[in-house]
Amino acid sequence: MSVLKRIMQFVRAVTARVTVEDGKYISAHLNAEEQKIFFAMSIADQAHSLRTAYKVERLVIEDKRGVDKEFLIRCALLHDTGRCAGDLTIRGKIFVVLITKFAPKFAERLEINGNRELYIYHYHAEIGARQLQQIGLFKEAKIIAKHHAPPKPDDPPELKLLRLADNAS
């Protein structure tokens, strides 16, 4: 990922907000139990997930494979729920990104020795998938658990579109 893209991520994170219109969008696509999990994320992650969902909507329109739009929007809104507010602060994420890029062996040692921020950063997809399974969203959990895994030729179109939207957001 380019330095410019990382700088843009930082700016978006520190200026993030969820508008009244965003709240209406969330309510239209997530039930009360799903909203509880969504709103447990930091504002920066909520805003990122909203951007991902809005991008997914545009991608579904362009995609000709008959993807379930509502399912994919739900996945987009919930894809980073493994990072609850306070688990990975903006400063912590900067640390994790830099140390993972410039000192990967040291980062690996820190994670093995219990660094929570590194653990959350690397395993939030699986953590979020477990949360979703607990409320019965097994199909969504299956997609979300793999959204940071290396792409495979037989990945479902929903996973491909989620990755594309996530990377663009």
Structure confidence by residue, pLDDT tens digits, 22-37: 999 999 999 999 999 9
How many Cβ atoms from other residues are within 10 Å of residue 114's Cβ?
8
Model pLDDT, residue 132: 97
Q: In the structure encoding, which two tokens stand for residue 138, read together?
A: 């097994």
- The CATH architecture that domain 3-168 belongs to is Orthogonal Bundle (1.10)
CA distance 152 to 41: 29
Q: Answer whether 34's CB lies under 8 Å from 114's CB.
A: no
Q: What is the mean pLDDT of residues 102-125?
A: 90
- Asked if 40 contacts 81 with a C-beta cutoff of 8 angstroms, the reply is yes
Strand partners of residue 41 = 84
Mean pLDDT of the chain: 91
